[in-house]
Chains A and B, each alone.
Chain A
């Protein structure tokens, strides 16, 4: 593929991306676990604070986006600079579905 490729992805970059992907996976699980615990607490009180839930869900979605980007970089063999350009291109303000 390499539609956006200007250079070649080095092995170090690839390893860094893989490591970062693992970190992001751990972070995602952590956020999800926190979100679940928060939901249980709110269920105990009988009132769900959607603002807090949305905030935590946004963090999970942010981690998902970053993981998708890294996955794309690994699949398309992008360099870190290209990945950064791509991230800046995709970093446009999105609508908040939770509100």
Chain B
């Protein structure tokens, strides 16, 4: 695998690791906020983080070793091209390209039986290549043998935890300090799982560093190193897949977060707008209330002014009336004083203060008596005239009775002189009726006369 691609993958895995750690932190914060802790969920999140961490470590180890060696050579021992090299003229494919149609050898395939080099540049020493495979083989097989991906946190206690730091220390001591991937080795469990092949890589590194020994050893390019190489590429592909999946998940999470943020923002905006509307309505209502209160205050002021003016006017009237009364009292006092002077010095000496009132009362009583007399005289006059009228009507009635009697007498004479019998009976009935009527009239007149006399006697009394 190319050095640049490895670095890129490492960087992406580091980002993924960081993202997962942050996501786990968010999860814990959410549990803290809700107050509901779930150890199982936290364990699962931790397992995911650990999975990425182990992938990262497994990537670091081969990268560290290969870069360690490729730092001394122009090209990597696997024969792959890195970013530092131009593409080969033969169009040789690397792990980032599809398989060539020409059956050319790439790192993902077994080397050809003939061991014929595919790269156009200088063929590396066959011993070097074999040693490299031998060195890289256990490292790449390390994570797979340990099985970190499937192993969760529950399986981790089975691992020799206390051994890990010691083995890591040895690994870090062996690792080259200049390699950035080497600093991750101390915490890795894969480093702890490979103490036995440690002697072999050291022996393998020697021929790599010394080119002189390249042709000494035979070329044992066999199926096992090739298989390990392909495992390394498979692991790279797996990392690619997990990286792309992680990237997709990260993008989805970002999109979801952005959508959540937008939703929350819109909700907040709506809330603020509704609050603003409420505030506006409250302000307008308050303004209306203030206006009505001002109007009422103005009306109250005007009413107060009117009432005070009326009160002032009433007070002035009262004062004027009081003044008039005082003047009247003064005039009366002057009159009384003049009257008392005429009455004599005796009255003055006695100083009777009630005399004017008594005189006024006497005067009022005399006036009332005179008025009563006048009304009685008037009533008497009316009664006399009515009596006269009644007497006149009585006389008229008596006259009519006399006329009727005379008529009746003349009618009797006529009957005697030979009138029909029927006519006589009719006349008799008429006379009888007239008599009855006249008697009633006379009775009524007498009653009226008696009533008038009774009234006149009461008035006199």
Binding site for B on A (CB under 8 A): 1, 3, 29, 31-37, 39-40, 42-44, 46, 48, 50, 53-54, 56-58, 60-61, 97-98
A44 touches B46 (CB 8 A): yes
A40 in contact with B34 (CB, 8 Å): no
Partner of B25, one of A31, A43, A50: A31
B153: min CB distance to chain A, Å: 4
Whether, in the assembled complex, B136 has its beta carbon less than 8 Å from a beta carbon of chain A, the answer is no
Q: B28: which of A3, A44, A57 is its contact (CB, 8 Å)?
A: A57
- Where the two chains meet, the residues of B that have a C-beta atom closer than 8 Å to any C-beta of A are 18, 20-26, 28-29, 31-35, 37, 39, 42-43, 45-47, 49-50, 53, 153-154, 156-157, 161, 272, 276, 279
How many contacts between A and B, using CB within 8 angstroms? 85
Residues of A within 8 A of B45 (CB): 36, 39
Among A31, A34, A43, A58, residue most surrounded by chain B Cβ atoms (within 10 Å)? A43
A43 CA / B47 CA spacing, docked (Å): 8
* B-side contacts of A60, CB under 8 Å: 25, 29
CB of B29 within 8 A of CB of A32, answer: yes
Does A36 lie within 8 Å of B49, measured CB to CB? yes
How long is the Cα–Cα vector from A98 to B276 in the complex, in angstroms?
35
> Which residues of chain A are within 8 angstroms of B29 by Cβ–Cβ distance?
32, 35, 57, 60-61
> Which of B32, B156, B276 is A57 in contact with, Cβ under 8 Å?
B32
- Residue in chain A with minimal CB distance to B276: A1
Q: Is the interface of A mostly helix, strand, loop or mixed?
A: helix
Shortest beta-carbon distance from A81 to chain B in Å: 22
Query: 22 A-B contacts, Cβ less than 8 Å apart?
Result: A29-B22, A31-B25, A32-B25, A33-B22, A35-B24, A36-B20, A36-B21, A36-B22, A36-B45, A39-B24, A39-B25, A39-B46, A40-B50, A42-B46, A43-B153, A44-B153, A48-B42, A57-B31, A60-B25, A61-B29, A61-B32, A97-B33
B158 to chain A, nearest CB (A): 12
Choose from A37, A50, A98 the contact partner of B21 (Cβ within 8 Å). A37
List the A side residues contacting B49 at CB < 8 Å. Answer: 36, 39-40
- Nearest chain A residue, comparing its CB with the CB of B30: A57
Chain B residues with CB under 8 A of A53: 28, 32
Distance between A12 CB and nearest chain B CB, rounded to angstroms: 26
Given A32-B25, A61-B32, 14 other A-B contacts at CB below 8 A?
A1-B276, A32-B22, A36-B20, A36-B49, A43-B46, A43-B153, A46-B154, A48-B37, A56-B28, A60-B25, A60-B29, A97-B33, A97-B34, A98-B33
Q: Which residues of B contact A98 (CB under 8 A)?
A: 32-33, 35
The distance from the CB of B13 to the nearest CB of chain A, in whole angstroms, is 15
Q: Which residues from chain A contact B39 at a C-beta distance below 8 Å?
A: 48
Q: Find chain B residues with CB under 8 A from A58 CB.
A: 32
- 5 closest Cβ contacts across the A-B interface? A36-B21, A32-B25, A43-B46, A35-B25, A57-B32
Residues in A neighbouring B50, C-beta threshold 8 A: 40, 43-44
Q: Cβ of A29: which chain B residues have Cβ within 8 Å of it?
A: 22
CA distance A31 to B47 in the complex (A): 20
Interface contact A1-B272, CB-CB below 8 Å? yes
Looking at A29, A40, A42, A56, which has the most chain B CB atoms within 10 Å of its CB? A40
B157 surroundings in chain A (CB, below 8 A): 46
Q: How far is the CA of A34 from the CA of B37 in the complex (A)?
A: 18
Interface centre among B23, B33, B34, B161 (most CB of A within 10 A): B33
Q: What residues on B are CB-neighbors of A33 within 8 Å?
A: 18, 21-22, 25
- B460 CB, min distance to chain A CBs, angstroms: 103
Closest Cβ neighbor of B43 among chain A residues: A43
Which of A35, A36, A46, A57 has the largest number of chain B CB atoms within 10 A? A36
A76 (CB) vs chain B CBs: closest residue = B272
Nearest CB on B from A21, distance (A) = 14
Residues A40 and B32 in contact, CB atoms below 8 Å apart: no
Q: CA–CA, A39 to B29, complex, Å? A: 11
